[in-house]
Amino acid sequence: MHTASDVAKWFLAHNRSVMDDGDSEYISNLKIQKLLYYAQGTFLAINDRPLFKDDIVAWKHGPVVESVYREYAYNGSNGIVFDEDFDFNSFAKEENELLTQVYDVFGQYSAWKLRNMTHEETPWIETQQSCVIAKDAITDYFKRVYVE
């Protein structure tokens, strides 16, 4: 199982390659948080197990993985420049495929659009602020709304 930081780096590295093709812009900390949420939810719904072990917490601006938030907090609301080496082979083929799909579907939206989307979804709505969003709630919601 991966860490949320590993998955965030996957998105940043993938985005970098898309940017090289001139079809994207840097991902902000707010946006990476939402991509992590959608990746975890989709993976849980399809595989009945988490993609990463970290908890997702209900914050004012939507679901957040606190450790990843802190990792990129220095960046403020600016896009994250990712210049680290990254090995996509550290992810299984089906994980790479799923993350690519999540990026293609949700990465097209702005950070604020994604924030607003999460504010309309029951896992965030039904979780008290600053509390962990239950993986079961995420799984059930994504199975019902996104995967079926």
pTM listed for this prediction: 0.96
Q: What is the mean pLDDT of residues 89-94?
A: 96
pLDDT tens, position by position, 104-141: 999 999 999 999 999 999 999 999 999 999 999 999 99
Other beta carbons within 10 angstroms of residue 66's beta carbon come to: 16
Position 131 scores a pLDDT of 98
pLDDT tens, position by position, 24-47: 789 999 999 999 999 999 999 999
Position 117 scores a pLDDT of 97
Sequence-separated (6 or more) residues with CB below 8 Å from residue 10: 86, 88, 91, 96, 99
> Position of tokens 């908890």?
55
DSSP 94: H
